[in-house]
Amino acid sequence: MHYRICGLSVATSFALPAGYPAASGAEPDIVVRLGNCPDDPAPADYLGPNWRLAGRRFYLDIPGIVRLMAHDGREIVVEPKGAATEADIAPFILSTGFAAILHQRRLLALHAATVAWQGRAIALCGPTGAGKSTLAAALCQVGTGFVGDDIAAIRLESHEPMVWPDGRQHRLWADAIDHLALTQQQGAPVRSHMRKFHVTPRLAQNQPGTLPLAAVVLLRMQENPMPPAPPRIERLNLADAAPLLLKQVYRVTLAKKMGHEPILFGQIAALLAQVPAFLLERSPGLNHLEASAALVLAAAEQAA
């Protein structure tokens, strides 16, 4: 099977719940295959809680589910564990495994959901649980096009920063699906034991090409407002935006341990020199979700 993910051609021996279908023929940029991942004889350059780096090889161990190795920015070898299904292992391939590949290629990858508005992209950046996917789904309810759910790969070679979509659908918790009346678009669970589901976007871009980046919106949760306070948004200057955006590089700890922090600083500075950044503070959960979406669109209009 062949896909295009984050602008890269990917050949796999099994289906992945992400990426745009791509024609076979030319040599792929990345190969994902089943195989054994023995312990690396080389000493580790860095040991994480469930991963290790050894030169150009990255290993991830999720007990009872999967062990994988990503190396040289070209291949992910996957060894399922126990009774894990392809649906169980795919999230780890597409998240940490693919992050290792992108960082090995020294590409700028933001932890962001992305939507399209008037032919340009808006990247919604934030840590896990910040509500990126839910806010993107709310924006699609009011007319934006859906681009990607989790990773925004940025190319800086052209005259303006461009976003390559990751090809994922929405991944939403059941309460967000109900709130946004997306039950008819609900698909399979992200993992078999979770109440988080793949959801078909109502307005998708339906193409794997790039979009110019219009704005970056950094999400921050308000701390236990009682009652939930209305959201607020502000434009950031470059000095304030740069350290905040560095934290939203996808799997940033991994990138730093690979020695890429100076490269990331340069990439982020180049990005912010051309693209405005905004900080959106909102209350947890689904409170004021529609108001948050309206503020994002207003910021995008300001950036135009």
pLDDT one-digit tens code per residue, 61-76: 999 999 999 999 999 9
Q: What is the pLDDT of residue 202?
A: 64
Global pTM value = 0.88
C-alpha atoms less than 13 angstroms from C-alpha of 113 in its C-beta half-sphere = 28
Task: In whole angstroms, give the CA distance from residue 109 to residue 250.
Answer: 6
Query: Which distant-in-sequence residues (6+ apart) come within 8 Å of 220 by Cβ?
Result: 126, 130, 279, 280, 281, 282
pLDDT tens for residues 36-89? 988 888 888 898 889 999 988 999 999 999 999 999 999 999 999 988 888 889
Q: How far is CA 19 from CA 4, 98, 166, 188, in A?
A: 5, 12, 6, 16
**φ/ψ (deg, to 5) at 290:** -65, -35
Of the candidates 291, 255, 297, 257, the one whose C-alpha atom is nearest the C-alpha of residue 98 is: 255
Strand partners for 162: 155, 212
Count of helices and strands (H, E) across the chain:
8, 20
Domains (range + CATH), the chain? 2-104 (no CATH), 108-303 (3.40.50)
Identify the band that residue 283 occupies on the pLDDT scale cut at 50, 70 and 90: confident
- How many other CB atoms are there within 10 angstroms of residue 128's CB atom? 8
Task: In whole angstroms, give the CA distance from residue 91 to residue 65.
Answer: 11
Of the candidates 182, 130, 132, the one whose C-alpha atom is nearest the C-alpha of residue 122 is: 132
Compute the average pLDDT of residues 81-99.
89
Of the candidates 18, 17, 19, the one whose C-alpha atom is nearest the C-alpha of residue 9 is: 19
What DSSP element (H or E) covers 66?
strand 66-71
Q: Which amino acid is at 247?
A: K
